[in-house]
């Protein structure tokens, strides 16, 4: 079996600064106060993901999920440990990431496609499909700075989902946008999963994670707290809920038509 992602004892450290200006820092130092603290957003995390696995990444807000996804994507590097990936990576790890607010949706579409490694020939071939998937109509010609978070998610996901990647990353992409679009996104991610590509999906929804993923990693304050089956992860997180609540959550995120 081919390995897609290997993390060995990775740690990502950030600095939390208490003061905004040089004057405030100087005064704090004179008074003997601390001006900053260091903390680990990810601490000594290890795991292996095989090609074709669909991985759910769960945990409370601030547990390090987005930081880990950014390291997998290459946006950040671990300060300690080793993180290796195999193949082309695409996905939406932050709503509006890589968009220029003064450029139109069309211009940002072309720019974002290039950033994700899509060739000019590939973009020409897929352009109409991307526009159709985003379904932004005339808004596509407006500056992205005027877009809502849902509209940015539409455009970003539409581009990312059409990249021929080996690994697809999605960070809460279904938390924004209307119900039909969320359903369309989930359907396309299921197609990615079923095609044998590697999928890493961040979500707080037990219903969608259980439906989408074969395995779940749970982060707790930057550490790997659990690695196993979705049902066991949901129980570990105490996200268990009555069937009605589960159905409501599933419908809210992916719609009834999937």
Residues 51 and 179 in one domain: yes
Note the pLDDT tens digit of each residue in 130-166.
999 999 999 999 999 999 888 988 898 899 999 999 9
DSSP 213: -
Among 112, 139, 165, give the residue marking a domain's end. Answer: 165
Note the pLDDT tens digit of each residue in 88-114.
998 877 666 678 999 999 999 999 999
Residues 51 and 172 in one domain: yes
pLDDT of 129: 96
Residues 158 and 193 in one domain: no
Tokens of 146: 């005027």
Q: Which residue range(s) make up the domain with 116?
A: 101-165
Tokens of 202: 């961040």
Does residue 1 have a pLDDT over 70? yes
pLDDT of 251: 43
Q: What number of other Cβ atoms are within 10 A of residue 254's Cβ?
A: 24
Among 116, 132, 165, give the residue marking a domain's end. Answer: 165
Residues 73 and 177 in one domain: yes
Is 157 within a domain?
Answer: yes
Q: Which helix (H) or strand (E) holds 28?
A: helix 22-30
Q: What is the rounded distance in angstroms from the CA atom of residue 24 to the CA atom of residue 46? A: 39
Note the pLDDT tens digit of each residue in 115-135.
888 999 999 999 999 999 999
Q: What is the mean pLDDT of residues 204-208?
A: 89
């Amino acid at each position: 079996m081919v390995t897609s992602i290997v993390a060995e004892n990775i740690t990502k450290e950030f600095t939390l600064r208490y003061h905004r200006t040089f004057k405030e820092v100087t005064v704090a130092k004179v008074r003997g106060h601390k001006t900053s603290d260091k903390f680990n957003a990810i601490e000594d995390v290890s795991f292996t993901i095989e090609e074709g696995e669909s991985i759910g990444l769960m945990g409370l807000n601030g547990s390090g999920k987005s930081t880990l996804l950014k390291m997998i994507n290459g946006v950040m590097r671990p300060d300690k440990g080793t993180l290796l990936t195999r193949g082309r990576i695409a996905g939406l790890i932050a709503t509006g990431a890589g968009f220029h607010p003064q450029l139109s949706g069309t211009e940002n579409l072309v720019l974002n496609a290039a950033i994700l490694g899509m060739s000019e020939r590939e973009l020409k071939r897929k352009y109409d499909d991307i526009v159709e998937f985003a379904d932004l109509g005339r808004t596509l010609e407006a500056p992205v700075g005027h877009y809502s978070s849902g509209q940015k998610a539409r455009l970003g996901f539409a581009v990312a989902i059409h990249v021929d990647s080996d690994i697809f990353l999605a960070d809460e992409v279904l938390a924004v946008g209307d119900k039909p679009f969320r359903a369309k996104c989930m359907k396309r991610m299921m197609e990615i999963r079923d095609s044998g590509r590697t999928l890493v999906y961040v979500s707080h929804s037990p219903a969608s994670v259980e439906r989408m993923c074969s395995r779940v990693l749970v982060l707790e304050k930057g550490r790997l707290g659990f690695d196993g089956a979705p049902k066991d992860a949901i129980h570990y997180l105490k996200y268990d809920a009555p069937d009605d609540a589960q159905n409501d959550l599933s419908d809210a995120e992916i719609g009834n038509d999937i």
